[in-house]
């Protein structure tokens, strides 16, 4: 088998919650020598720190995810190297500029997502950053050098706008993945081999591509477990079931995306807890605590004019 020099892993976080953004993240690595063997998880010390985010971090304890994000940016994998605060770290990770991210924000809702007075790094973070920084060094020495990481943050307002345009959240997810692959392909300066988590149960992606639509491509495989395509000038793009558990770059993308989503969700919670400290800390997913948070903030949201479409996902999408 011929292995590509540049490999990409892509995954999403927050596809189906009630609150908070959907985040899609991609990681670019340069492979040399036998570095490709490191892409597949194995029973080694790294397995406790790098893999599917669902098994390594949880709501309220995303310190490991934060550490990977901080270490990657400090090594130059972000848009800049400033990881001194959560907000500067977020800016370094995002594919889009802050101005573009805030462009659709109604004035009444902007502070809900962008106030930074509640931001803080996890107290366990510094020690974990040191540990995963050593992991990154060891991976690079063995032929897997992490080059870049980027996230696309899709807020509820933009998801709602897409819904009214006839695009499901699965299509928004897919199109964000395509954007990321194309952006990292430009950074690589060469064709890439990308693995993405499966999107929306699709087997055939040709009819739902967005940024890649209209590009010449060949179908390599289309099945329930894996769909793969070859784009001349871009490289190979595969969508794989449970990719975050079987590909370390996808797992790393999942971890960084988990941190980004936790930070953004934490800002929403903090915004309302400033007025009512009795409000619970919530994940934003479909659970009783989140339901209570939604109900308890309804009056305050009405008083301050926070649009419902900014705060909560639409219950149905096409």
CATH number at residue 240: 3.30.420.10
Q: How deeply is 248 buried, as exposed, middle or buried, from its count of CB atoms within 10 A (0-12, 13-18, 19+)?
A: buried
Alpha helical stretches, state H, the chain: 53-56, 63-74, 86-93, 98-102, 110-114, 125-141, 156-164, 169-188, 243-246, 248-273, 288-296, 298-304, 308-311
Give me the pLDDT at residue 239, please.
Answer: 97
Give me the pLDDT at residue 148, please.
Answer: 98
CA distance 147 to 78: 9
Asked whether residue 130 carries a pLDDT value surpassing 70, the answer given is yes
Give me the pLDDT at residue 1, please.
Answer: 38
Give me the pLDDT at residue 218, please.
Answer: 97
155 and 310 in contact (C-beta within 8 Å)? yes
Q: What is the DSSP string of 18-79?
A: SBS-EEEEEEEEEE-TTGGGGGS--SSGGGGTSS-HHHH-BTTB-HHHHHHHHHHHHTT-SS
Name the helix (H) or strand (E) containing 209: none
Residue-wise pLDDT for 143-161, tens only, equals 999 999 999 999 999 999 9
Mean pLDDT for 32-43 is 88
For the chain, percent of residues with pLDDT exceeding 90: 87
> Token match 């964000």: residue?
176
Does 298 reside within a domain? no
Half-sphere exposure of 305 toward its Cβ, with a 13 Å CA cutoff?
Answer: 6
Does 303 reside within a domain? no
Does 257 reside within a domain? yes
Does 291 reside within a domain? no
Mean pLDDT for 243-259 is 95
> Token match 């309804």: residue?
298
Does 246 reside within a domain? yes
Lowest mean pLDDT among 39-53, 69-83, 245-259, 298-312: 39-53
Cβ–Cβ contacts within 10 Å for residue 300, how many?
Answer: 14
Asked whether residue 207 carries a pLDDT value surpassing 60, the answer given is yes
Asked whether residue 141 carries a pLDDT value surpassing 90, the answer given is yes
Does 64 reside within a domain? yes
Instruction: Please indicate whether residue 45 or residue 212 has the higher confidence score (pLDDT).
Output: 212
122 and 63 in contact (C-beta within 8 Å)? yes
Instruction: Kindly state the DSSP code that residue 110 receives in the 8-state scheme.
Output: H
Does 278 reside within a domain? no
Q: What is the number of domains present in the chain? A: 1
Structure tokens at 204: 């055939």
Give me the pLDDT at residue 317, please.
Answer: 43
Mean pLDDT for 83-103 is 97
Mean pLDDT for 262-269 is 97
Residue-wise pLDDT for 159-190, tens only, equals 999 999 999 999 999 999 999 999 999 999 99
Does 68 reside within a domain? yes
Mean pLDDT for 266-289 is 96
| Residue 114: domain span | 6-267
Give me the pLDDT at residue 318, please.
Answer: 40
């Amino acid at each position: 088998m011929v292995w590509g020099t540049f490999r990409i892993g892509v995954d999403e976080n927050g596809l189906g919650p009630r609150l908070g953004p959907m985040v899609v993240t991609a990681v670019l690595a340069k492979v040399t020598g036998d570095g490709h063997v490191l892409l597949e998880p194995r029973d080694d010390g790294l397995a406790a720190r790098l893999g599917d985010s669902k098994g390594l971090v949880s709501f309220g304890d995303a310190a490991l995810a934060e550490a990977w994000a901080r270490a990657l940016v400090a090594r130059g994998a972000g848009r800049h190297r400033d990881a001194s605060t959560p907000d500067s770290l977020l800016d370094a990770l995002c594919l889009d500029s802050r101005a573009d991210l805030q462009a659709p924000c109604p004035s009444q809702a902007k502070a809900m997502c962008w106030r930074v007075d509640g931001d803080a790094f996890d107290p366990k973070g510094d020690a974990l950053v040191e540990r995963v920084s050593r992991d990154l060094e060891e991976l690079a020495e063995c032929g897997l050098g992490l080059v870049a990481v980027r996230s696309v943050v899709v807020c509820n307002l933009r998801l709602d706008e897409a819904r009214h345009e006839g695009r499901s959240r699965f299509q928004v997810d897919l199109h964000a993945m395509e954007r990321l692959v194309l952006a990292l392909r430009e950074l690589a300066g060469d064709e890439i081999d990308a693995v993405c988590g499966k999107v929306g149960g699709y087997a055939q992606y040709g009819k739902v591509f967005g940024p890649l639509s209209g590009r010449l491509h060949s179908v390599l495989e289309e099945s329930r477990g894996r769909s793969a395509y070859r784009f001349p000038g871009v490289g190979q793009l595969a969508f794989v079931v449970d990719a975050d558990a079987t590909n370390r770059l996808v797992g790393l993308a999942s971890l960084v995306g988990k941190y980004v989503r936790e930070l953004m969700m934490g800002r929403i919670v903090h915004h309302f807890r400033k007025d009512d400290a009795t409000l619970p800390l919530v994940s934003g997913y479909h659970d009783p605590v989140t339901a209570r948070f939604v109900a308890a903030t309804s009056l305050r949201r009405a008083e301050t004019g926070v649009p419902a479409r900014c705060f909560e996902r639409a219950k149905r999408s096409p």
